[in-house]
Amino acid sequence: MYSPSEQARGGSMRYPARPAPACRRRGSPAAWPRRVAVTVALAIAGSTVLGTGITTPAFAGSLVSPEWAVSSAAPGTLGVAYTYTFTTGSTSELGSVTMTVPAGTSGAPGVGTVTPAGLAEGGTVALSGDTLTYSFTPQPVAAGTAVSIEITGLRNTTVPGGYPSPITTVDAGSPVDSGTTPPVSFDGTLVSPQWAVSDPAPGGTGVDYTYTFTTASTSELDSVTMTVPAGTGGTPAVGTVTPSAVAAGGTVALSGDTLTYSFTPQPVAAGTAVSIEITGLTNTAAAGRYTSDVATVDAGSPVDSGTTPAVSFAGTLTLASPGSLAWAAEEDGLNQAAVDEIPADQSLTVDDSTGTGAGWDVTVSATTFSSGSHTLPDTGRLEFTGSTDSLIGAAPSAACVGSCVLPVDATAYPVAIDTAASSPGAFTIYDASAGTGTGVVALGGPGSAHPIGWWIRVPALAYAGSYTSTLTLTLVSGP
């Protein structure tokens, strides 16, 4: 560089010589130019830089087995309790749990039973929009803790459907674990559900079942399910269906004990009267009384449901009895009592296959014993008891023939049977109480402890002869 004095004198400038390229440098390394390492610290306002990179949220857990249940699933019901259960997935300090509810849920929520006890401390609940927030005294909760929270005083949504509930545990406003429950179905109650059959005979074929009801909710529907007695079969087909909207595209399928009638999805208003006829069915072979559970369905979720009154599939109630009775007595000038000693006459068989469980009575009536113009007195002429040895007060033995429910009999023995010339009265000789005597039951029998004894009383002054009477045995349903 030139100096200021030289510049003032207007002398020429002299530039310093350029250093020789490195490959041409001379001398020792100590004389070479050196590089200086510079460290610059940058401060970035509002950010934190860690050696591991950008921070991630502290929560990433999933609740184990989240569930929710309702004490009543009828839409619009007031005073319902919702219970939420789950197992925590993370260890954290918690202060609240949030649980969503169906849109339109309302009421004055209160805290019911909460477990474990620690989560019940200071427990309060608030409903805001579609979210219940249960708050409690903050405390550490270990992973794997089973939690149950009951919220009372709620009013169900008025909209039928299936509703899941997302649940989240919270620590100071930050989510910790979360999960979504399976859906709970809110369904209404069908008005006057009924069903009828064209032939109630057990095992009957080609039978029509007709289901009628009135809808309780306005919803889009696509099917109706109807339970049938176990053992129902056949090839079901669609008969008459009303209204026409529900008939559009109608098909039916039988799976197990359920008929499913499907149709073109469409809105159906509350108060709509519906009738569905299903043809080509084969009745169950088991006699009895059967109700049917009916439900309207929207995309797999029940909307309205109800249970019909029972329909009776009547079986048979039959009595096997002797074709005739016979007695023999020799005149000796004394009053006598003679018994029918024929083994085949010492038993009765009742077959109650009605399935009603109503019980049954066996009654007998007899006309006056007569021989030409001679008759035996009508009063106390016949007696019925469980012995062929003497007129003791014993009930005939009862035994099952196959599967049965043994009868419970309250008859007082022996039974005195009066005769009459015409329209004789009926006398109960065996009485099976309701709920007993179903199946095939044998009464008496020559080899039993108490065979049936048919006894006739012959007065001392009776004229000798062959006396006849017409006995009528009747089996009557009901105790």
Q: Give the end-to-end CA distance of the chain in Å, rounded to a whole number.
A: 138
Cα 103 from Cα 355, distance rounded (Å):
47
pLDDT of residue 186: 83
pLDDT tens, position by position, 154-210? 999 988 888 999 999 999 999 999 999 999 988 788 999 999 999 998 899 999 999
Query: What secondary structure letter does DSSP report for 396?
Result: P
Cα 11 from Cα 237, distance rounded (Å):
122
Average pLDDT score over residue span 40-47: 34
CB neighbour list of residue 354: distance below 8 Å, 6 or more residues apart = 287, 314, 315, 316, 317, 438, 477
Query: What secondary structure letter does DSSP report for 409?
Result: B
Average pLDDT score over residue span 12-32: 44
pLDDT of residue 330: 85
- Predicted TM-score (pTM) of the model is 0.50
Q: By CB neighbour count within 10 A (0-12 exposed, 13-18 middle, 19+ buried), where does 316 fall? A: exposed
* pLDDT for 280 beyond 90: yes
pLDDT of residue 300: 86
CB neighbour list of residue 230: distance below 8 Å, 6 or more residues apart = 257, 284, 286
The pLDDT mean for the chain works out to 88
pLDDT tens, position by position, 245-257? 999 999 999 999 9
pLDDT range class, residue 60, cuts 50, 70, 90: low
CB neighbour list of residue 235: distance below 8 Å, 6 or more residues apart = 280
pLDDT tens, position by position, 322-339? 999 999 988 888 999 999
pLDDT tens, position by position, 293-332? 999 998 888 888 999 999 988 888 999 999 999 999 888 8
Q: Of all residues in the chain, what percent carry a pLDDT higher than 90?
A: 74
Residue 301 φ/ψ region, left for φ over 0, alpha for ψ in the -120 to 50 degree band, beta for the rest: beta
pLDDT range class, residue 265, cuts 50, 70, 90: very high
Higher pLDDT, 88 or 330: 88
Cα 189 from Cα 44, distance rounded (Å):
65
